[in-house]
Structures are given as C-alpha cells and as structure tokens.
Amino acid sequence: MNIPKMFPMHLIKSMELARASLWRKPFILLATGFGLGLCPVASGTAGTLPGVLILLALGPLWQGSILWQVVAAAALCLVAVPICDVAERHFGVKDDHRIVADEYLTFPLGMIGLPLVPWMLAVAFLTNRVFDVLKPPPAWQLQALHGGAGIVIDDVIAALYSLAVNHLIFHLVGRLLL
C-alpha cells in the first residue's frame, strides 16, 4: 500500500484495527487499552493508566483480605495472556508496542497489600514503569517466550519488583503520611 509520507502513522495503525475479524475486535480493543496503545509516544505509559482505574473499581475488594487481592491480581494476569496472544497474531509483530493489556492488567500486582491512596498509586505507577523499562532479571530473558505468555511475563516480573519497592517506600515513608 503506497501511503503519502505526510499521512500520520497512528491513523494507519488504527485502520489496521478496523480490518480485524469480528471475533478479534474485542481482543484488539482490550489489547490496545481501548486505543491508548496507539499513542505515538510512550504507549506503555499511557497503556498502564487503565490499571489504576481497575484498582479503583476493585476498591472494596482491595480493602479486604490480601488473599482476595492476590487472587484478583493473578486472575487479571492470566486474562492478559490470551488477549495479548490474539493481538500479537493480529499485528504479526512480537510484543508490538500497541499491545498494552500486559501493562494495565499486571499493574495491580504492584499494589497488593497497599492502601489505595493517591500518593501510593502514583508511586506504584512510577515504579511499575521504571521496572518495566529496565526489565531486571529474569524479566528480560523470559520475554523471549512466544505468544501472550512472553508478552505478559516480563510485566509480571516488573510488577513484582515494583511491589517490593512499593512496600519498602510505604513502610519507610507512608506511615508518616497516613
């Protein structure tokens, strides 16, 4: 397809979404974070934002038992795998930057056992993004796995690093703020 150079690339990419088969459209919509993954700059950061909304929606559950928090976070991570898998096959690119369901569905892992207060959500968002970019071991190595599992696993590892740092910050600073 011969497209003029002046045509914005993000519009071309959104047209690609329109060509998805009917059964794939909901997966692509979820995988791209309802279009946030199409953001031309920092799609992963923009794509993490729905994770904050998911946590706020889970508020009553999140204030309960840590066991329920672990179950909810694990379920979200498991749901991310087939969503990302379908989107990767649709786009035909390994861990395409437009796929952000791995970012937002693993974000709640970094908040297990922590209060849903604005400053803690901001800290968790920041640490999650830092560890997702840095990809500390074994995240970097595990992302080589194929399909949705490879897309999601590095974000799970990053969220677990984030969780550890978030608890440290909360125990050092947070008790003074609450």
Are the CB atoms for 84 and 148 separated by under 8 Å?
A: yes
Per the domain annotation, does 2 fall within a domain? no
Per the domain annotation, does 124 fall within a domain? yes
Choose the weakest-confidence range: 3-12, 29-38, 151-160. Answer: 3-12
pLDDT above 70 coverage of the chain, percent: 87
Q: Note the pLDDT of residue 178.
A: 63
- pTM for the complete prediction? 0.86
Per the domain annotation, does 127 fall within a domain? yes
Q: Total structural domains in the chain?
A: 1
Per the domain annotation, does 1 fall within a domain? no
- Cα 18 to Cα 15, 22, 26, 35: the distances in Å are 5, 9, 11, 12
Residue 34's domain comprises: 9-177
The total of other beta-carbon atoms located within 10 Å of residue 64's CB is 11
Per the domain annotation, does 145 fall within a domain? yes
